[in-house]
C-alpha cells in the first residue's frame, strides 16, 4: 500500500556503480542530458527508436517534475561505416549523411521527440583537435608513426570502472591497428588519413577524429565540463562510454564527468539484438506505415527502459488495443465532464472513486520515480481506465472525473500518445464529426422510442464498423465513444 506524502523522490539506476541512487542534479532545477545519437549510414530502425523514445520519456518526466532539461543528442556524420558505404556505392560521403540524417529527423518528428541541440562531428573538428592536443600535452595521449593519435589507457588508472571490466585482457579494442599502439587496449583519438578518405589538417598530420572523442567534445561544448545524465544503448557501455569517460576525466581533471550513466536494454527480434550488422532490422519508416507512431511509442514504453523488449506483432497489437481503450475512455470522459453538472455534494460512492483515482495517481508517480518505470506507470493508467469506465463515467462523477483527467494529462505528458484526444477534438475530423455523431445518436433514440428497432440496430452496427461504438443504458440513455 502506497502512502501519500507528496510526489516520491526520483531514483535512478546508475550504470556506474550499478546502484539505484537518489536523483539530484549538479545544479538545482536544471538537468543536463547527453544521449549518443546515430551514425548516419543507413535507415534508422526501431531499435534506435527504442533508445530515443526511452530518453524522451525520461526527459518528459523530469520536466513534469519541474526540472528544466537541456537535451543534446549528437549526429555522427563521419565514421568508417559512412566512408565504407560511400565507397561501396561510389557516392560522396556527404550525400549518404544527408539522406540518412533526413530519415533520422523524420523519425524524431513522427515520434514527437524534441531534442534541443543536434551537434555534428564535422562542425566541431577544431574543438576536437584542441581537445586531443590537450590530452597529448597532459601525457594522456601519444602520436603514432602513422600520424594517428591514441589514448594511453595506462595513464588513466580508473579505466574499466564504468563497464565493470577490471582486467586489461578484457579491454582489447581496435585490433586492426595493434602494431602501432603501445597496448592492445589503447584507442584512437585521431585516425591518420588513407587515400580516398575525407580528411582535416591537424598538427600531427591530416586525418579524421576517432569515434569516442566526438562525444567528450560536443557534450562539454553544450553542457559544460560536468553534467547530469549520459545515455545510450547498453552496447555503448564498452568501449564507447568507457573511453569517453577516460578522455574527459583525464582532460578536465574533474570527477565525476557524468553524474548518472543510463543505458537502455536492447530491442530484440526473436531474441537477437536488432542491428544493421545482423541484418534483422525493421526500418522505422516501414514500421510507421503499419503502425501509428503513437502505437509505436506506446509499445516501446510498455517495457522498462533497461529491460530487453522483443518485437512481435502480438505485442504491438496489445499496445494498439490498450491505446484504443485509453483513447476511447478519455474521449468519453471529456464528454461526460462537459455534460455533467457538478453536484452540490459528493456521495460516498464518488468519494471512493476519488480515493481510487488518487491512488492510481500515486502509483503512476511511484513507478516513474522508480528509475522511470514506464511499464508499471502504464499499468496504473490501465487500472485508472477500468475505474473510469466502470464507475466514474456511469456515475457521472464530476470531481472524480476531473481528477482522472488530470492523471491522463500527466500520463500523456510523458507518453505523448493522446495529445489529439486531450487537446484537439475528441473525435477525428473535428467538432463537426462529433456533432454529426450526436445527431445520428438522437435520431436513433427517436427510432427506438417508436420501436423501429431493426433500423436502430443497423445504425449501431454501421457506426461500429466506423469505429464508433454506441452503448445503450437502462432507462433509454445512449452514450458513444470512438475506438
Ligand atoms: N537494438 C537496439 N536496441 C536498443 N538500442 C539500440 C539498438 N541498436 C542500436 N541502439 C542504440 O541506438 C543508438 C544509435 O546507435 P548507432 O547509430 O551507433 O547504431 P548502430 O550501432 O550503427 O546500429 P546497429 O547496431 O544496428 O549497427 C545508440 O544509443 C545505440 O545503443
Ligand atoms: Zn557517444
Q: Is the pLDDT of residue 62 over 50?
A: yes
* For ligand 1, atom 4: residue with the closest CA: 266
Tell which atom from ligand 1 comes closest to the C-alpha of 275: 26
Strand residues in 227-273 grouped as ranges (E): 227-233, 258-264, 267-269, 272-273
Of 42-56, 280-294, 436-450, the range with the lowest mean pLDDT is: 436-450
Which ligand sits closest to the CA of 51?
Answer: 1
Enumerate long-range contacts of 453-461, CB under 8 Å, 24 or more apart.
Answer: none
Place of cell 582489447: 172
User: How do residues 400-429 score in pLDDT, each as one tens digit?
Assistant: 999 999 999 999 999 999 999 999 854 444
**How much is the average pLDDT of 318-345?**
93
**How much is the average pLDDT of 248-263?**
96
Cα gap 326→417, rounded to integer Å:
10
Question: In sequence order, what are the beta bridge partners of 260?
Answer: 229
- Per the model's pLDDT, the better-predicted residue between 439 and 476 turns out to be 439
DSSP per-residue codes, 346-414:
--HHHHHHHHHHHHHHHHHHHHHHBT--HHHHHHHHHHHHHHIIIIIHHHT-HHHHHHHHHHHHHHHHH
Q: Do the beta carbons of residue 412 and residue 425 sit within 8 Å? A: no
Cα gap 237→215, rounded to integer Å:
13
Residue 180: count other Cβ atoms within 10 Å of its Cβ: 13
Which ligand sits closest to the CA of 268?
Answer: 1
Place of cell 488518487: 358
The alpha carbon of 48 and the centre of ligand 2 are apart by a number of angstroms equal to 14
CA distances (Å), 431 to each of 324, 327, 459, in order? 20, 16, 21
Question: In sequence order, what are the beta bridge partners of 31?
Answer: 69
Which residues have CB atoms below 5 A from the ion given as ligand 2? Answer: 36, 215
Q: Is the pLDDT of residue 8 over 60?
A: yes
Instruction: Consult the annotation and say whether 314 binds a ligand.
Output: no
For helices 125-137 and 211-223, angle between their N-to-C axes, nearest 10 degrees:
100
User: How do residues 356-396 score in pLDDT, each as one tens digit?
Assistant: 999 999 999 999 999 999 999 999 999 999 999 999 999 99
**How much is the average pLDDT of 312-334?**
97
Tell which atom from ligand 1 comes closest to the C-alpha of 50: 4
Strand order in the sheet with 267-269: 272-273, 267-269, 309-311
- Per the model's pLDDT, the better-predicted residue between 299 and 461 turns out to be 299
Of 51, 120, 278, 310, the residue with max ligand 1 atoms within 8 A of its CB, to mutate for a pocket test, comes to 51
Residues 6+ positions from 12 with CB-CB distance below 8 Å: 20, 21, 23, 260, 262, 371, 372
Q: Is the pLDDT of residue 286 over 80?
A: yes
Q: Tell me, what's the pLDDT at 230? A: 98
Q: Tell me, what's the pLDDT at 319? A: 98
Of 38, 48, 237, 301, the residue with max ligand 1 atoms within 8 A of its CB, to mutate for a pocket test, comes to 48
Strand residues in 421-477 grouped as ranges (E): 468-472
Q: Is the pLDDT of residue 124 over 90?
A: yes
**How much is the average pLDDT of 46-55?**
98
Q: Is the pLDDT of residue 82 over 70?
A: yes
Number of H helices, E strands in the chain: 16, 15
Cα gap 316→411, rounded to integer Å:
19
C-alpha cell recorded at residue 62: 523530469
Cα four-point dihedral sign 314, 319, 322, 325 = negative
The alpha carbon of 233 and the centre of ligand 1 are apart by a number of angstroms equal to 6
Q: Tell me, what's the pLDDT at 428? A: 46
Q: Tell me, what's the pLDDT at 4? A: 60
> 5 pLDDT band (50/70/90 cuts)?
low
Residues 6+ positions from 115 with CB-CB distance below 8 Å: 35, 71, 72, 73, 108
Spell out which residues line ligand 1, taking CB within 6 angstroms.
Answer: 36, 38-39, 47-48, 50-51, 232-233, 235-236, 264, 266-267, 273-277
Residue 289: count other Cβ atoms within 10 Å of its Cβ: 8
User: How do residues 149-180 score in pLDDT, each as one tens digit?
Assistant: 999 999 999 999 999 999 999 999 999 999 99
**How much is the average pLDDT of 184-202?**
97
**How much is the average pLDDT of 10-36?**
98
Cis (ω within 30 of 0) for the bond into 314? no
Q: Tell me, what's the pLDDT at 456? A: 93
Going by the DSSP 8-state scheme, the letter that residue 240 receives in this structure is: I
User: How do residues 449-480 score in pLDDT, each as one tens digit?
Assistant: 999 999 999 999 999 888 888 988 888 888 88
Q: Identify the CA nearest to 239 among candidates 189, 197, 278.
A: 189
Query: What percent of the chain stands above pLDDT 90?
Result: 88
Residue 280: count other Cβ atoms within 10 Å of its Cβ: 16
> 482 pLDDT band (50/70/90 cuts)?
confident
**How much is the average pLDDT of 306-323?**
98
Question: In sequence order, what are the beta bridge partners of 263?
Answer: 232
**How much is the average pLDDT of 213-234?**
98
The pTM is what? 0.89
Q: What is the set of domains in the chain, with CATH numbers?
A: 25-311 (3.40.50.620), 321-426 (1.20.120), 428-483 (no CATH)
* For ligand 1, atom 25: residue with the closest CA: 275
Cα gap 409→273, rounded to integer Å:
34
Cα gap 38→458, rounded to integer Å:
52
**How much is the average pLDDT of 20-24?**
98
**Average confidence score pLDDT of the chain:** 95
Percent of the chain that is helix, strand, coil (3-state, to 5): 50, 15, 30
Q: Tell me, what's the pLDDT at 276? A: 85
Q: Tell me, what's the pLDDT at 430? A: 53
Amino acid at each position: 500500500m502506497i502512502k501519500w506524502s507528496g510526489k516520491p523522490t526520483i531514483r535512478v539506476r546508475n550504470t556506474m556503480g550499478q546502484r539505484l541512487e537518489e536523483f539530484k542534479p549538479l545544479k538545482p532545477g536544471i538537468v543536463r542530458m547527453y544521449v549518443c545519437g546515430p551514425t548516419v549510414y543507413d535507415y534508422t530502425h526501431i531499435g534506435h527508436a527504442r533508445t530515443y523514445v526511452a530518453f524522451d520519456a525520461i526527459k518528459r518526466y523530469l520536466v513534469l517534475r519541474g526540472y528544466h532539461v537541456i537535451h543534446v543528442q549528437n549526429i555522427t556524420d563521419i565514421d568508417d561505416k559512412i566512408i565504407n558505404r560511400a565507397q561501396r556505392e561510389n557516392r560522396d560521403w556527404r550525400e549518404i549523411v544527408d539522406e540518412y540524417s533526413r530519415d533520422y529527423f523524420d523519425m524524431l518528428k513522427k515520434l514527437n521527440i524534441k531534442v534541443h541541440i543536434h551537434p555534428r562531428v564535422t562542425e566541431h573538428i577544431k574543438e576536437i583537435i584542441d581537445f586531443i592536443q590537450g590530452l597529448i600535452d597532459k601525457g594522456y595521449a601519444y602520436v603514432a608513426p602513422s600520424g594517428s593519435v591514441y589514448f594511453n589507457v595506462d595513464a588513466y588508472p580508473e579505466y574499466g570502472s564504468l563497464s565493470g571490466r577490471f582486467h586489461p585482457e578484457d579491454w582489447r579494442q581496435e585490433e586492426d591497428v595493434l602494431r602501432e599502439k603501445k597496448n592492445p587496449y589503447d584507442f584512437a583519438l585521431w585516425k591518420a588519413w588513407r587515400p580516398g578518405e575525407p580528411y582535416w589538417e591537424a598538427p600531427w598530420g591530416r586525418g579524421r577524429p576517432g569515434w569516442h572523442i566526438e562525444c567528450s567534445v560536443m557534450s562539454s561544448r553544450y553542457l559544460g565540463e560536468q553534467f547530469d545524465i549520459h545515455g545510450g544503448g547498453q552496447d555503448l557501455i564498452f568501449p564507447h562510454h568507457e573511453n569517453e569517460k577516460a578522455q574527459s576525466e583525464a582532460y578536465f581533471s574533474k570527477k565525476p564527468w557524468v553524474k548518472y550513466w543510463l543505458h537502455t536494454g536492447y530491442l530484440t527480434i526473436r531474441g537477437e539484438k536488432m542491428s544493421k550488422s545482423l541484418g534483422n532490422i525493421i526500418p522505422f519508416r516501414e514500421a510507421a506505415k503499419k503502425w501509428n507512431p503513437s502505437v509505436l511509442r506506446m509499445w516501446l514504453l510498455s517495457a522498462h527502459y533497461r529491460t530487453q523488449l522483443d518485437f512481435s506483432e502480438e505485442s504491438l497489437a496489445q499496445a494498439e488495443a490498450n491505446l484504443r481503450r485509453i483513447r476511447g475512455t478519455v474521449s468519453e470522459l471529456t464528454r461526460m465532464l462537459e455534460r455533467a453538472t457538478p453536484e452540490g455534494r459528493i456521495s460516498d460512492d464518488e468519494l471512493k472513486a476519488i480515493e481510487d483515482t488518487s491512488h492510481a495517481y500515486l502509483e503512476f508517480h511511484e513507478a516513474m520515480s522508480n528509475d522511470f518505470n514506464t511499464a508499471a506507470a502504464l499499468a496504473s493508467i490501465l487500472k485508472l481506465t477500468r475505474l473510469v469506465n466502470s464507475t466514474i463515467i456511469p456515475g457521472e462523477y464530476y470531481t472524480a472525473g476531473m481528477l482522472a483527467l488530470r492523471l491522463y494529462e500527466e500520463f500523456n505528458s510523458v507518453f505523448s500518445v493522446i495529445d489529439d484526444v486531450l487537446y484537439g477534438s475528441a473525435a477525428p475530423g473535428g467538432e463537426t464529426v462529433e456533432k454529426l455523431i450526436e445527431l445520428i445518436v438522437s435520431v436513433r433514440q427517436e427510432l427506438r422510442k417508436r420501436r423501429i428497432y431493426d433500423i436502430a440496430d443497423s445504425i449501431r452496427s454501421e457506426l461500429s464498423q466506423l469505429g464508433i461504438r454506441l452503448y445503450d443504458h437502462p432507462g433509454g440513455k445512449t452514450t458513444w465513444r470512438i475506438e
